């Protein structure tokens, strides 16, 4: 394994950390409806747990309401129960075959709590990026110890890994700031 391989691997892993962070942010409610909120909810479908998106169509009825249209009529109560019992605090209402999921307006206190959650998720993402930096630097030190690269090459590679780390930490900060402003907008 060369220094270039280590840098390339670290870049890919940090990119995956950012993608995971973006997915976590998408689950945090902002007061506006979007179908991604229900993605992590699992329903019992003939004995196996599957995401709602695999048993129903999800659409936006309006800015504050998600419409869930199950493909099978018998899934309506199962999906409704799963949404109601999820950690999102939503109260779905059934109208025939359509399940309407209204998004309640967020209170000021709840908005502040959600910004704290966003900051906490951001810190977790930064820690994972920094851990990847540490692992890459350890690999580089091992290469020097095994005399596969010179100390100068190791120093250059460490600097490049640090630049990658700074870039991804800045991106995380930007994502956190964007999500906070989204949450605090009434």
- Residue 130's pLDDT is what? 93
- Residue 48's pLDDT is what? 86
d(CA 101, CA 92): 4
pLDDT by residue for the chain (186 residues), tens digit each? 778 888 888 899 999 999 988 888 877 766 666 777 777 788 888 888 888 888 888 888 887 788 889 988 888 888 888 888 876 777 888 888 888 888 877 778 878 888 888 888 899 999 999 999 999 999 989 888 888 888 888 899 899 999 999 999 999 999 999 988 888 876
Q: What domains, with CATH codes, occur in the chain?
A: 3-27+107-184 (1.10.132.20), 35-102 (3.30.1360.40)
Spatial contact of 52 and 80, defined as CB atoms under 8 Å apart: no
Spatial contact of 37 and 66, defined as CB atoms under 8 Å apart: yes
- Residue 118's pLDDT is what? 87
- Tell me the whole-structure pTM to 2 decimals: 0.68
Which tokens sit at 66?
A: 């998600």
d(CA 130, CA 172): 12
Where are the alpha helices (H) located in 95-150, listed in sequence order? 108-145
- Residue 171's pLDDT is what? 94
Spatial contact of 6 and 159, defined as CB atoms under 8 Å apart: no
Spatial contact of 100 and 67, defined as CB atoms under 8 Å apart: yes
- Residue 173's pLDDT is what? 93
Residue positions counted in the chain: 186
């Amino acid at each position: 394994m060369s220094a270039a391989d280590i840098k390339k691997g670290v870049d890919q892993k940090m990119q995956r950390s950012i993608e995971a962070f973006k997915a976590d942010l998408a689950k945090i409610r902002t007061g506006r409806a979007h179908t991604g909120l229900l993605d992590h909810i699992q329903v019992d479908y003939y004995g196996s747990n599957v995401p709602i998106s695999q048993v129903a169509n999800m659409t936006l009825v309006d800015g504050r309401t998600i419409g869930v249209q199950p493909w099978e009529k018998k899934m309506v109560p199962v999906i409704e129960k799963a949404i109601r019992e999820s950690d999102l605090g939503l109260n779905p209402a059934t109208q025939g075959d359509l399940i309407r999921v209204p998004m309640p307006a967020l209170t000021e206190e709840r908005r502040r709590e959600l910004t704290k959650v966003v900051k906490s998720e951001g810190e977790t993402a930064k820690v994972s990026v920094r851990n990847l930096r540490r692992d890459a630097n350890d690999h580089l030190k091992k290469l020097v110890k095994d005399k596969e690269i010179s100390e100068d090459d190791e120093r250059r590679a460490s600097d490049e890994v640090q630049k990658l780390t700074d870039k991804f930490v800045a991106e995380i900060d930007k994502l956190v700031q964007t999500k906070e402003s989204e949450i605090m907008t009434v």
